[in-house]
Chain A
Amino acid sequence: MGSTVLDMGPAGAYKGHMSKPTLAFRNPPDWSKLKVLKWIIPAIMVLIMGLTMYYSVPTDSQGVVLRFGKFTSVEEPGLHFKMPFGIDTVETLPVKRQLKQEFGFATPGGTNRSQHSRSKGEQTAEQSMVTGDLNAVLVEWVVQYHIDDPKTFLFKVRDPELTLRDLSEAVMREIIGDRTVDEVITTGRQEIGDQALLRLSEMAKSYQLGLKVDQLQLKNVNPPHSVKSSFNEVNKAQQDREKMINIANGEYNKVIPRAKGEAEQKISEAEGYKLQRINEAQGDALAFTSVLAEYLKAPEITRKRLYLEAMSEVLPTLSNTWIVDDGVTQLLPMVQSKALGGGK
């Protein structure tokens, strides 16, 4: 918040100069010295005026000037003059400084007063929320903002930053209260942040806080501590599911391509068989056709020749050959015993 740039300087100066007259009065009254006193009083007045007639506004700020408590102007950074003796007062506000508020946690060394709640218990209370499916969840978030309109900031609402804190909590719970625990923890993070920012900016505007909300980020979003392990169990189960599916797919990929290759091999072999069979048949047919042509030229003799050739081939390989005349009748028993005994 802004500070009053009045009082302090002049008060110090005043005391310093009062010491001279006190010293003078310790001696008996002396008119020549009183003459000096006559000049000292206006001198002090001028000095005080001089010291209270200027002020400077830092580069990241704006100064709001009040005359007798009434708003007169907003001044840009630099050195400015004002009316002395507390007629004009100036409040400087760091309008260009990015301010932030933390909810549910605290980073040490905060810059602004309302950056985070003081007690750990309060921070825990800030985190705890109930989701739309009536589950509990812990949410931490950060709001970044800056003073947008110094005049509104100072004169419309008392302690706008505290109001912003409360508003931010109410808005976040509105949004979490409309979502399921799964949305809050996993899928909806981004959307929740966006929605909350939109809503909070709207509200800050309608509440006339003089603040502009620039960013809202969700930090840690967790299930309550005693429930956390069961949430991890769900993650693990999800990974188990993927693993089982991968293993099954692996087995599939190990077997099917090989089976396909083997099938193609068999088909190729069958195609080879077909080619072979046809070629052989054609060869046989050609051979027969050629021999037939010669046979037809001299059927009788060719027939005889072929027969005798065959016989001369076959007969020598036989174990027994019996040549029997038509007249022989009691042949079979003899042949049988001879055949069994071997020999010619």
Chain B
Amino acid sequence: MKILPIVIGIAAIGLLLVAGGAFYTVNERETVILTQFGRTVGDPVTEPGLHFKTPFVQDVNRLEKRILEFDGSPTEMPTKDKRYITVDTFGRWIIDDPAVFFVTLRSERRAQSRLEDIIGSEVRTAVADNDLIEVVRSDKDRVLPPNETAEGTKSSVQQKAMRGRQAIQEDILARAQPKLEPLGIKLLDVRIKRVNYNHKDVDSIYQRMISERLQIAQRFRSEGEGEAARIDGSRGRELRKVESEAYKRVQELRGEADAEASRIYAEAYDKSQESRDFYGFLKTLDTYRTILGNKTSMILSTDSELFQLLERSKR
């Protein structure tokens, strides 16, 4: 029964301390800055865990310890070659010096608006210093394969990038960082998220794309016609080749045949004087057989071998 008041007393003091805010916790994600009547007290508390402070008079202000994101709003801006594009950037930053940050900006919301101002203007400057192709291309060393369009068409854009997006991003970071340092902010990087053509430009871009495509289509058709003509030509050539080669071979064979036959005949008929005479005699008789017929009249002399006998009888 005597312990009870003591317990209650301790509990009451404990309760008072808790209610007055003698204890506070620091989360893994936060840094805490203590203020006393609005003025900062001591160093920022970065160690997570349970901490003490003077109750009633000190306030806890929590700041983000993690890496934060900055998301720029899409902005229209001209490039060096006077192309209007909409650029959307994002970046990462961190509260590098919480004490300075707390004094200069106090809240994250205000920091975001400062970042928007500073990075936004640096993006503008960087984009205005570079041609469109530099903003679009990242790896300047990559060689784009040739377009399918016929060579020499002016519409296929094959500009070469000299620096590339990476270099532009580095420029933006290098220029923005010094301006953010006095605010206790460290900018880790700035990246171009989106780049798009301006609404007014889009139509002419589309028009160019369409004409480029139609050229490619034209080229395909022309290629088809050309190839077909080539095949037709080779068909004609092949046809003539096959036919003439056959003619050549036929003539050659016939010539060989006639030559061989002549040789065989000559060999048989030209053996001796007798064979020559006999062949002449036989051939003459054959000739008679063929040239003499029912349309022929013949006057034979009694001198002839056939009618010698007739004459002799007359005498």
- Give A contacts to B, CB under 8 Å: 38, 66-71, 125-126, 128-136, 154-159, 162-163, 166-167, 169-170, 173-175, 177-183, 207-208, 223-224, 226-227, 230-231, 233-234, 236-238, 240-245, 247-249, 251-252, 255-256, 259-260, 262-264, 266-267, 269-271, 273-278, 280-282, 284-286, 288-289, 291-292, 295-296, 299, 303, 306-308, 310-311, 313-315, 317-326, 331, 335, 339
Q: Which A-chain residue is minimally distant from B302 (CB atoms)? A: A325
Among the 9-residue stretches B99-107, B118-126, B172-180, B230-238, the one with 4 or more Cβ atoms under 8 Å from chain A is B230-238
* Inter-subunit contact B159/A134 (CB<8 Å): yes
Report the interface size for chain B: residues with CB under 8 A from the other chain. Answer: 120
* Inter-subunit contact A237/B250 (CB<8 Å): no
> Within the complex, what minimum Cβ distance (angstroms) separates B158 from chain A?
6
Q: Which of A68, A170, A177, A324 meets B136, CB within 8 Å?
A: A177
Q: List 20 A-B contacts (CB under 8 A).
A: A68-B25, A69-B30, A130-B196, A133-B157, A134-B157, A158-B64, A227-B209, A230-B209, A240-B220, A248-B227, A252-B234, A256-B238, A274-B260, A277-B258, A284-B268, A285-B265, A308-B306, A319-B297, A322-B298, A322-B299
Complex: how many Å from CA A296 to CA B25?
148
Interface residue? B66 (CB, 8 A): yes
Complex: how many Å from CA A281 to CA B137?
88
> Within the complex, what minimum Cβ distance (angstroms) separates B281 from chain A?
6
B92 contact set on A, CB distance < 8 A: 157, 163, 207
Interface residue? B56 (CB, 8 A): no
Known: A133-B158, A134-B136. Is A125-B194 also a contact (CB below 8 A)? yes
* Inter-subunit contact B250/A173 (CB<8 Å): no
> Within the complex, what minimum Cβ distance (angstroms) separates B21 from chain A?
15
* Inter-subunit contact A278/B257 (CB<8 Å): yes
A130 contact set on B, CB distance < 8 A: 136, 195-197
> Within the complex, what minimum Cβ distance (angstroms) separates B26 from chain A?
5
Q: Which residues, 188 to 217 on B, are CB-close (under 8 Å) to A?
A: 191-197, 202, 205-206, 209-210, 213-214, 216-217
Q: Which of B66, B71, B235, B294 meets A255, CB within 8 Å?
A: B235
Complex: how many Å from CA A201 to CA B257?
84
Q: Which of B205, B251, B294 meets A319, CB within 8 Å?
A: B294
* Inter-subunit contact B194/A68 (CB<8 Å): no
Grouping DSSP codes into helix (H, G, I), strand (E, B) and loop, the A interface class, with mixed when no group exceeds half, is helix
* Inter-subunit contact A311/B306 (CB<8 Å): yes
Complex: how many Å from CA A283 to CA B159?
87
* Inter-subunit contact A288/B239 (CB<8 Å): no
Q: How many A-B residue pairs have CB under 8 A?
A: 341
* Inter-subunit contact B28/A233 (CB<8 Å): no
Complex: how many Å from CA A178 to CA B195?
13
- Give B contacts to A, CB under 8 Å: 4, 25-30, 47-50, 64-69, 71, 74, 88, 90, 92, 132-133, 136-139, 142, 144-145, 147-148, 156-159, 165, 191-197, 202, 205-206, 209-210, 213-214, 216-221, 223-225, 227-232, 234-235, 238-239, 242-243, 245-247, 249-251, 253-254, 256-258, 260-262, 264-265, 267-269, 271, 274-275, 278-279, 281-282, 285, 288-289, 292-303, 305-307, 310-311, 314
A284 contact set on B, CB distance < 8 A: 264-265, 268
A263 contact set on B, CB distance < 8 A: 242-243, 245-246
Q: Which 5 A-B pairs have the closest CB atoms?
A: A241-B224, A263-B246, A285-B268, A274-B257, A237-B217
B74 contact set on A, CB distance < 8 A: 125
Complex: how many Å from CA A119 to CA B159?
35
Known: A230-B214, A238-B220. 6 other contacts (CB 8 A): A240-B224, A276-B257, A323-B299, A323-B302, A324-B302, A335-B299
Complex: how many Å from CA A238 to CA B227?
13
Complex: how many Å from CA A275 to CA B64?
109
A245 contact set on B, CB distance < 8 A: 224, 227-228, 231
Complex: how many Å from CA A226 to CA B260?
80
